[in-house]
Amino acid sequence: MPIGLEVTLSNISAFLLGIAPTISIILIVLGGIIYGLSYTQPPDSRGKWQTSGMSMALGGLIVGAIAGAATIIQETSAGLLK
């Protein structure tokens, strides 16, 4: 792998690891707000709002879990290539 590409990919990785916790918190909070506001909607559309809210909260938890385990995943995958 060329050196410039390796540095670029490393910078992208560091940037994504830096913003992942913020994105996770935003998704969880917005998911909770949308889920709570779903009860103000008519019954025929409430399920759509609840599904969206729960999906956002679950997505935030998944992003947080992947960000937390990113170094372990990277070390394990690097060991598989040897």
HSE toward the beta carbon, residue 11, CA cutoff 13 A: 6
What is the token pair recorded at 14? Answer: 């560091």
Rounded Cα distance, 22 and 64, in Å: 9
Question: In this prediction, what percent of the chain has a pLDDT beyond 70?
Answer: 96
Pull the structure tokens for residue 59: 């997505």
Secondary structure of residue 2 in the 3-state scheme:
coil
Mean pLDDT across 35-44: 94
| pLDDT value of position 23 | 95
Dihedral (C-alpha) 67, 72, 77, 82: value to the nearest 10 degrees? 150
pLDDT at 82 > cutoff 80: no
pLDDT of 1: 56
**pLDDT 10s digits, 7-32:** 888 888 889 889 999 999 999 999 99
Residue 41 DSSP class: S
Question: What pLDDT is stored for residue 59 in this prediction?
Answer: 96
